[in-house]
């Protein structure tokens, strides 16, 4: 199989697996226990927290381990809305129309249940949040603004630096879903020297295990507990820690940051090669999203007149893994909300596929994949008389 869906997940890196094994076997103690294996587990969690904090230049105590990005997004949004209500303020939140479902569905749930109200920033045709109406929304003193660092479907980088500066001017906290960014790009390239007040990360996007991530919460920010019933994560997220997962995440982060520059350049080269090869044979194909301000391995393409669903089936049969959008929604038949928000028609959205490349992909694989995609598209076009 030629795996071209790295935005959905990547394989566990060897360093993470090696780091995890002791805590899946002999060192199986509960971190809350007083005996030796418990102490070792507790020390491993603390060490992992410090190691991840070093990649961010933040305090270890500002990191709260979760089951992944979705949980972290839910926690950030709902807790900030609850905090506003507790202060007697309106639980009004601001986000963008292209956010991951973990953000958008949480906002919808909050509104339907009366927990919060929200407004969504529109986006440009390149898939970038448009900030022209931001000042009017900030004047309403929202409890939180939430904007992702890079879009999971198109790879479009978002204007986090400007957004953070404008939020700080109004003393409005900013949350960012950095699931697609952490371990892929230097955060300073998006943010400058400061971090958002809260941000979410998921380990399996950068070589760590599935089922673990973290929420960064700036020290001093009033954020309520997510789960109750224990003192874990300083009383904010009760439940026995996923020691092996946390240790594996820290090990994967070390590797990702050490190899970031080399890996990013390789993904960029492979992505552009793939696009060029397709365009040579399929000149009608075009890219959804920014040509330049995007993640190096993301490529969302529209194949006019071709059903993305049928194309994905053919590609799967030919040994190529790709997707029609977000991993959490790719099993659904609805057109991408991201592409629709960008102004694409439903027909265009239903003809679009995301290819996302990893550093382990080879030029040989990319050339082979481009030929297979070309053949499949031409076959479908002949059948549909496109």
Provide the 3-class DSSP secondary structure of residue 177. strand
DSSP string, 8-41: T--PPPHHHHHHHHHHHTT----TT-SSHHHHHH
For residue 118, the cross-strand partners are: 93
CA–CA separation, 164 and 175 (whole Å): 9
CA–CA separation, 335 and 323 (whole Å): 12
CA–CA separation, 104 and 106 (whole Å): 5
CA–CA separation, 205 and 326 (whole Å): 13
328 is catalytic: yes
DSSP string, 105-136: HHHHHHHHTTS-EEEEE-B-TTS-B--TTHHH
CB distance 165 to 174 below 8 Å: no
Catalytic residue of the set 13, 28, 302, 328:
328
Query: Which of 313, 322, 360, 354 minimizes the C-alpha distance to 336?
Result: 354
Tokens matching residue 72: 């972290």
CA–CA separation, 270 and 361 (whole Å): 8
CA–CA separation, 180 and 152 (whole Å): 6
- Which position has the token pair 């995007």? 294
Q: Which residues are catalytic?
A: 328
């Amino acid at each position: 199989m030629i795996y071209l869906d790295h935005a959905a997940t990547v394989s566990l890196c060897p360093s993470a697996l090696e780091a995890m094994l002791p805590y899946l076997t002999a060192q199986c103690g509960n971190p809350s226990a007083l005996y030796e294996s418990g102490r070792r587990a507790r020390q491993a969690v603390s060490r992992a927290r410090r190691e991840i904090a070093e990649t961010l230049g933040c305090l270890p105590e500002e990191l709260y381990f979760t089951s992944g990005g979705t949980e972290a997004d839910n926690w950030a949004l709902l807790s900030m809305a609850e905090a506003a209500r507790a202060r007697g303020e309106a639980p009004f939140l601001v986000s963008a129309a292209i956010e991951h479902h973990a953000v958008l569905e949480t906002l919808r749930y909050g509104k339907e249940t009366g927990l919060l109200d929200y407004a969504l920033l529109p986006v440009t045709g390149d898939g970038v949040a448009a900030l022209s109406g931001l000042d009017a929304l900030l004047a309403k003193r929202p409890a939180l603004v939430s904007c992702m660092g890079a879009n999971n479907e198109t790879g479009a980088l978002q204007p986090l630096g400007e957004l953070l500066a404008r939020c700080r001017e109004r003393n409005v906290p900013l949350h960012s879903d950095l699931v697609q960014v952490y371990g892929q790009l230097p955060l300073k390239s998006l943010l400058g020297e400061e971090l958002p007040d809260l941000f979410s990360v998921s380990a399996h996007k950068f070589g760590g295990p599935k089922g673990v991530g973290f929420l960064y919460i700036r020290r001093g920010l009033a954020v309520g507990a997510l789960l109750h019933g224990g003192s874990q994560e300083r009383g904010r997220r009760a439940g026995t820690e996923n020691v092996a997962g946390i240790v594996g995440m820290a090990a994967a982060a070390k590797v990702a940051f050490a190899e970031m520059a080399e890996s990013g350049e390789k993904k960029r080269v492979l992505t552009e090669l793939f696009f060029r090869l397709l365009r040579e044979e399929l000149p009608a194909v075009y890219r959804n999203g920014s040509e330049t301000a995007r993640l190096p391995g993301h490529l969302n393409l529209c194949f006019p007149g071709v059903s993305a669903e049928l194309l994905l089936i053919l590609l799967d049969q030919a040994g190529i893994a790709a997707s029609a959008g977000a991993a959490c929604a790719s099993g659904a038949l609805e057109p991408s909300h991201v592409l629709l928000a960008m102004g694409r028609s439903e027909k265009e959205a239903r003809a679009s596929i995301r290819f996302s490349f990893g550093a382990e992909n080879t030029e040989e694989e990319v050339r082979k994949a481009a030929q297979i995609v070309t053949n499949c598209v031409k076959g479908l076009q002949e059948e549909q008389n496109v």
